[in-house]
Structure 1
Amino acid sequence: MAHAVNHSAPAEPASADVHAHGQQPSIKLYLVVWGWLFVLSTFSYLVDYLQIQGYLRWGLILLFMFLKAGLIIAVFMHMAWERLSLIYAVLLPPVVVLVFLGILLIEANYTLLTRMTFFVTAP
């Protein structure tokens, strides 16, 4: 005799037992990320130690800062394992703010140039 399949009951997700026991990344991943954070911090301190100046200095410091922040957010705050909508909700607003700050910087330079051109008194 064939067994009838009950289609009215919802199917149990295949990953239910994984979530029941908790999903934890391996300790190796944390140690590797910790090592990369140490290396990036060393590079950041080397920028000061080698007395690099100008835009290169600030570019390197910002690059190392963003890389370290990205590693911390992705692994230690578990964003690498979140849904894409949550990632967009957390990461998209700062990106938009940075774009608007860039636009404001361009506008500020234009305004300053215009004021210096038209409002400077002749001797």
Structure 2
Amino acid sequence: MKHEIPGSEASLVHEGQHHPISLYLKVWGYLFVLSAMSYMVDYMHVQGIVRWTLIILFMLLKAGLILSIFMHLARERLSLIYAILVPPLVLLVLVRIMTIEADYAFWTRAIFMGGGG
């Protein structure tokens, strides 16, 4: 007969991981506020790079909340978190490198070939 310490990993396996309902309500509230702020960016007619920066920031914050709480990623092992989060971050870095390269190719064509667009 095994004696398990309440709150230990072994007891969590048997009991399951349960979050209090107040945590879910807080996260839903945060998601609502972040969505409202995202809509306010359009409502206030914010334009240019500021608009896209704010929209992407709010999107990433909402995705982080959903991943950590609703998908229970906050309690996972670090290796699993890295396996889920690192590939999209690497893709973002590669996309950024491609945009720098595209700008370079565009301006090189415009300067040396007399056109570009």
1:73-84 correspondence to structure 2 within 5 Å: 73-84=67-78
Q: Which residue of 2 aligns with 1:18?
A: 12
Match in the other structure for 1:48: 42
Residue identity (%): 56
Name the Cα RMSD after superposition: 1.6
- Shift >2 Å, 4+ stretches: 12-15
Unaligned runs of 5+ in 1: 1-11
TM-score (norm 1): 0.83
Cα separation, 2, equivalents of 1:83 and 1:109: 40
Q: For residue 30 of structure 2, what is the aligned residue in structure 1?
A: 36
Q: CA deviation at 1:110?
A: 0.6
Amino acid at match of 2:25: L
Bigger Rg over Cα: 1
Q: Quote how far apart the aligned CAs of 1:87 are.
A: 0.2
Which has the higher relative contact order, 1 or 2, with Cα contacts under 8 A spaced 6 or more apart?
1
Unaligned runs of 5+ in 2: none
